[in-house]
Structure 1
Amino acid sequence: MPRTDAEARTWLSQDDCSLAEFRSLVGQRTDPHEYPSAQGVEQNVLRYDSDRLRDLAGTAEGRRSVQAELSRALLDGPGIVVLQRAFTDLTVVDRASDAFRALIEEERATGAARGDHFAKPGANDRVWNALDKMAVRAPEVFADYYANDILALLAEAWLGPGYQVTSQINVVNPGGAAQSVHRDYHLGFLSQERAAAYPAHVHRLSPVLTLQGAVAHCDMPVESGPTLYLPHSQKYVPGYLAWRRPEFIAYFDAHHIQLPLAKGDAVFFNPALFHAAGHNRSADNKRMANLLQISSAFGRAMETVDREAMVNAVFPVLLRRKAEGADEQWLHNVVAACAEGYPFPTNLDLDPPVGGLAPLSQADTVRQAVAEGWAPERLRQELHAGAKRRQS
């Protein structure tokens, strides 16, 4: 049955994905006159000199003006900005790199080395939860690194105060293959079916809940495979349903851009921008980046609740009502009200994504337990183990 006009305005579907419409958006040119603080435009991407930004943001009025421009660039402009010399003291970057390498070696030695969403262990070196690991193991390095004023300038420009920083270290070794094109957290980590279950206004909301960034910890010439981007693609509303479609993948492969970075440079982009890490074709460049994922302060509930206790109490009721003939929607609604339906935040060392971009949520586990008729004690043990995996 065809959708009504009201349904079409509320829900997106793969049928809404039009390559012609997408092409018209990403075909826009970035006008440097609209971004007077920028050093220039290269391959449709805004480049900023960080020292100039520091000077312009030296007063409260100047800071407000610069942040307005940066926010506009991420939302309505190309969706990506490159900050040259974000770290002017490269000894800070080198000290952080040493701390990250020590973490990598430590995890290799203990057998805890992980792959990432797109590569198996060994192809890349990935350190999950690098933020707290660095803070605990090298607090002085952590303080000098995250005191960086450019990182704070961008985070506040996009998210406002109270933002929450997380980071992962990614080292793409020589020969490391390129990623597939994708969008990022939140909706970008969901399957097509789950993303389509969220109304259109959530597709518009998701990109403003996080800011994606990366700090270059080595020089990254193009042959080392710096990230591939498609400027202006963040403006395509059905993009969370489009990026897996073959015609959009082919368009990205044919039209993406790729910019070299120098050690100490940073790049920030709207998480809805189509992007993918590149293929490291170099002979000896172990391309290291600190991947920053900075979240809005508003990504929190009003109250704290003990969902594990709630689920354990309600689960026998779910089993009994299912046996009495309760339908799937009834069971689903009760699980949604008591179990945590979202798998993040978690400890990705202990709770890695399996078979997708996200691990199982607490609600996924409860629904499996209901479907398979687990004993309450088994669910209690699984929930406790899941809670332990999510702890840092």
Structure 2
Amino acid sequence: MTNTWFTAADCRLEDFRAVCEQKTDLGDYPHATDVVDNVLIYPGDLANTRDIQSELIRALRDGPGIVVFTGAFRTDVVDRATEVFTALIASGESGGDHFAPPGANDRVWGALDKFALRDPVAFAQYYDNDTLALISEAWLGTGYQVTSQVNVVNPGGPAQVAHRDYHLGFMSQEQALRYPAHIHALSPVLTLQGAVAHVDMPVETGPTMYLPHSQKYPAGYVAFHQPSFTDYFNENYVQLPLAKGDAAFFNPALFHGAGTNRSSSVRRMANLLQVSSGFGRAMESVNRTAMVTALYPVLLSYAGSVGNVIAASAEGYAFPTNLDHDQPLDGLAPRTQADLLRQAVAERWPANRFESELAAADARRHA
């Protein structure tokens, strides 16, 4: 495997198998209470100490890549939050899902601020959670940023295709190949994925499918797009039943996907937590909309590299955005400002059309 760039040819299923078929040894994790299907189980009342944080780091980085905390959230607190989330869905606050067909589930994007504004007392009780603080500080250090998307998988809702998560997991294979190997190694430590069970989730309801240890495969952000790796996942994934209030947290590079809800009546609700490193922001704020508006007439007749100018001026990343309004249409991520600018220049849009579409794109991104 190359040291600096990955290619699709670097993805060898036999290498992946060797990584994923490792076993999780409970003796290596003294604060865990059990190992179930290679997944570490912890009590929901661990102290926030450097020793325990170190163990959790090893579990997510060098071990199975996933930990489950039993009873991490009080059920009465979860029930009150469920009432808020249900009201948000009933009021039309749920939107589409880039991993599921319409009607299969109800997804509340941007649920963190919607929850806080609708019921700040319930929000405070819910996020006053020591387990969330423990695992977030362990993986990301201080200054982390919590976001939340509520996902309700309705009876009959089909399973997701196995994938990795944000950042590189939200890219096509072609896009991921544009990033050098060291960025593939960096992406998993920029976020932490979590899911809080808001109802009891026996296996028939389709709790998340996981492939323990798969986060350790270096070329995984390329490999998960390939059918042979999907087939291997489908033959070897594990699913853990969760009780209301249990919480699973995992390395975003772990191969995973929501399971099929085969129940006849259970609407499987989970609060999907994505916690981001505080380092994921630039030092200065820049008004890129004003920049590209001023540059557009110049780029229409520019003789040099238009691409270089766009890369240095326009917003080239799709996130953060408001996924209620700025939903992905042709992939896992919405169109970027740079994409819009490239299209406008290539198609020679009049300035007033470009400015109108730019303003509309900006408006869609705001909460």
Q: Fold conserved (TM > 0.5)?
A: yes
SS in 2 for 1:9: coil
Aligned partners of 1:50, 1:184: CA distance in 2, in Å?
25
Q: Which residue of 1 aligns with 2:204?
A: 223
The aligned counterpart of 1:307 is 288
The structure-2 alpha-carbon separation of the partners of 1:356 and 1:189, relative to structure 1 and needing over 3 Å to count, comes to: same
Match of 1:78 among 58, 64, 70: 64
Query: Which residue does 1:34 correspond to in 2?
Result: 28
* Structure 1 position 353, deviation (Å): 1.1
Deviation at 1:244, TM superposition (A): 1.3
Q: Which residue of 1 aligns with 2:324?
A: 349
- Is the 1:114–1:120 contact (alpha carbons within 8 Å) kept by the matching residues of 2? no
Deviates more, 1:235-244 or 1:369-378: 369-378
* Structure 1 position 384, deviation (Å): 1.2
75, 79, 85: which one aligns with 1:90 = 75
Q: Which amino acid in the other structure matches residue 381 of structure 1?
A: S
TM-aligned CA deviation for residue 118 of structure 1 = 1.8
Q: Distance in 1 between matches of 2:103 and 2:12?
A: 38
CA deviation vs aligned residue, 1:23-64 (integer Å, no higher than 9, x gap): 00001001111110000111000000112x13xx3xxxxx11
Structure-1 separation of matches of 2:94 and 2:190: 29
Of the three residues 211, 214, 225, the one matched with 1:244 is 225
User: 2:161 & 2:108 partners in 1: Cα distance?
Assistant: 20
Q: Deviations over 1:309-343 (max 9, x none)?
A: 0101111111111xx4x4xxx11111010000001
State the identity as a percent: 63
Question: 1:137: how far off?
Answer: 0.8
Q: Distance in 2 between matches of 1:254 and 1:231?
A: 13
Deviation at 1:385, TM superposition (A): 1.1
Aligned to 1:180: 161
Per-residue Cα deviation, 1:232-266 (whole angstroms, up to 9, x for no partner):
00000100000011110110000000100000000
**Distance in 2, Cα, partners of 1:104 & 1:253:** 31
C-alpha distance in 1 between matches for 2:138 and 2:182:
22
Alpha-carbon contact 1:115-1:123 (below 8 Å) kept: no
Question: Which of 369, 373, 378 is the aligned partner of 2:344?
Answer: 369
SS in 2 for 1:231: coil
The answer to whether the 8 A contact 1:37-1:66 is kept is yes
Shift of residue 122 of structure 1? 1.8
Number of equivalent positions? 367
Give per-residue Cα distances to partners, 1:354-388, cap 9 Å, x unaligned: 12111001111111111111112211111111111
Give the match's secondary structure for 2:3.
helix
**2 CA distance for matches of 1:171 and 1:319?**
46
Paired with 1:118 and 1:295, the residues of 2 have a C-alpha distance of 21
Cα distance in 1 for residues equivalent to 2:312 and 2:29: 46
Aligned to 1:14: 8
Within the alignment, does 1:289 sit opposite 2:275 as a pair?
A: no
Shift of 1:121: 2.9
Which of the numbers 132, 135, 142 marks the counterpart of 1:154? Answer: 135
The runs of 5 or more residues in structure 2 that have no matched partner are none
Equivalent position to 1:68, from 54, 68, 80: 54
1:60 — aligned with what?
none
Please report the RMSD computed on the Cα atoms of aligned residues, expressed in angstroms.
Answer: 1.0
- What do residues 277-303 of structure 1 show as CA deviations (whole Å, max 9, x unaligned)? 000001111000000001000000011
Q: Is the 8 A contact 1:187 1:206 kept in 2?
A: yes
Q: Using the alignment, how far apart are the partners of 1:121 and 1:146 within structure 2?
A: 30
- Give ranges in structure 1 of 5+ residues lacking alignment: 58-62
- Please state if 1:193 is matched with 2:174: yes
Superposed displacement of residue 115, structure 1: 2.0
Deviation per residue, 1:196-217 (Å, 9 max, x gap) = 0000000000000000000000
Q: Could you tell me how far 1:349 is from its partner in structure 2?
A: 0.3
* Cα distance in 2 for residues equivalent to 1:98 and 1:179: 26
Match of 1:380 in 2: 355
C-alpha contact (below 8 Å) 1:214/1:289 kept by paired residues: yes
Letter in 1 for 2:345: V
Which residue of the partner structure matches residue 143 of structure 1? 124
